[in-house]
A = this chain, B = another copy of it.
Amino acid sequence: MSFSPLTNQLIDALQCLPGVGPKSAQRMALHLLERDRDSALVLADVLRAAAEQVGHCRLCRTLTENEECDICQQSRRDRSLICVLETPADVLAVEQAGGYRGLYFVLLGHLSPIDGIGPEDLGIDRLLERAADPAVKEVILATNPTVEGEATAYYLREHLKPCAVRVSRIAHGVPLGGELEYVDGSTLAHAFSGRTEVVDE
């Protein structure tokens, strides 16, 4: 015995959400059906609209329903800088940190031969085209400090060599507010090898 066929279908469909297993999907389905059908209908409409209409920015590949995203359209951005990130969430994080005023390029993933994700899936051709523009002075590689992120950064560094741009990688080191005692060994090793000279002002 289980729930009615449509309820079971809903429980199954909810499991496409990351971090949602059978038990939470059941809880979600029953909550919506018992108490919140209006929200369920709103969610259904928004899901359909977003899945059908949200596309990728022509320039930076981030998610947008317009041809170009808000950031690429802003005239006050420094168009000589391109920061390469893995996901739209990373764009939000960098924007919220403040300080960076250049443009972005979103790979929507990282190189992962095991999962069949190659350079063409990450739009790297388009990045190289953009980097070849003489207006671009620097490409900042800000992929994640993971094995795949580092491999992607390495691949990009090699392929950006022919372009007349400076290529940089974000610094790895001890996070602010952390205590050395609790920082992992490889981060600490990076912090030592990437040390900068203290200069008297």
Contacts from A to B (Cβ < 8 Å) = 1-7, 9-10, 13-14, 16-19, 24, 26-34, 36-37, 39-54, 63-66, 69-71, 87-89, 92, 95-96, 108-109
B47 with A18: CB separation less than 8 A = no
- Contact status A89-B43, CB under 8 Å: no
Complex copy number for this chain: 2
**Is A44 a contact of B42 with CB atoms below 8 Å?**
no
A70 to B54, CA, bound (A): 41
Partner of A51, one of B4, B44, B88, B108: B44
Taking a contact as CB atoms under 8 Å apart, the answer to whether A6 and B65 are in contact is yes
- Known: A16-B32, A34-B109, A47-B47; 16 extra A-B contacts, CB below 8 A, are A1-B92, A4-B69, A7-B50, A7-B54, A13-B43, A16-B36, A27-B89, A30-B63, A32-B50, A34-B63, A40-B50, A41-B51, A41-B52, A43-B44, A44-B48, A45-B48
- 5 closest cross-chain pairs (CB), A and B: A16-B39, A44-B47, A40-B51, A44-B48, A1-B95
Q: Are A27 and B19 interface neighbours, CB within 8 A? A: yes
Q: Once the chains are docked, how many angstroms separate the CA of A44 from the CA of B50? A: 10
- Report Cα–Cα, A6/B88, bound state, in Å: 14
Given A66-B4, A71-B1 in contact, is the A42-B13 Cβ separation under 8 Å? yes
Known: A18-B28, A28-B17, A63-B34. A46 touches B6 (CB 8 A): yes
Q: With both chains docked as a complex, state the minimum distance between the C-beta of A117 and any C-beta of chain B, in angstroms.
A: 11
Q: Which residues of B contact A5 (CB under 8 A)?
A: 65
Residues of B within 8 A of A32 (CB): 16-17, 47, 50-51
Q: A40 contacts which chain B residues (CB < 8 A)? A: 16, 47-48, 50-51
Complex-state Cα separation, A8 to B145, whole angstroms: 27
Is the CB–CB distance between B44 and A7 below 8 Å?
A: no
Q: CB-CB < 8 A to A18: which residues of B?
A: 27-28, 31
